[in-house]
Amino acid sequence: MSKLLERLQDPVRSGVYRLTRSDAIDEVMGSAAQIDLKDGNALRAISQALRFPDWFGGNWDALEDCLGDLSWRPGNGHVLVFRNWQALTSDDLGVLIDVLRSSAESWSGRGRPFFAVLIDPQARLALPPLHRE
């Protein structure tokens, strides 16, 4: 088993990370949720990619509620890969990262891995790298 896959299966290491390329994560995580934020509407993109239930309220609190549940998604953990985050306003990006961190902490506390990985080719985000590339 690769070190990256071991990391992604470890609930203690759950969190929000960056990668400059998605190659490695694509190889080890064929089931990772791919979320493209190119239209600048993070709530819609995430709800569509993760197939949120009809009760999703379309706001940041509802996003946190849904990310804290995910009972409709199979698996022992969750890996979300975000592309084109640059289309978000800085405020929306900040709130999104806060919600993702909170969700990762919640899942980790329940002993289940939750990773949010933002693809950041220029390594501009002040997030830790998921692994050495």
pLDDT in tens, the chain (133 residues): 488 889 999 999 999 999 998 888 888 776 689 999 999 999 999 999 999 999 999 999 999 999 999 999 888 899 999 999 999 999 999 999 999 999 999 999 999 999 999 999 999 999 999 987 6
Report the alpha-carbon distance of residue 128 to residue 19 in Å, rounded. 9
Residue 25, SS3 per DSSP = helix
Quick one: tokens of 64?
Answer: 């946190």
- The architecture (CATH level 2) of 3-119 comes to 2-Layer Sandwich (3.30)
Cα atoms found within 13 Å of the Cα of residue 40, Cβ hemisphere only? 5
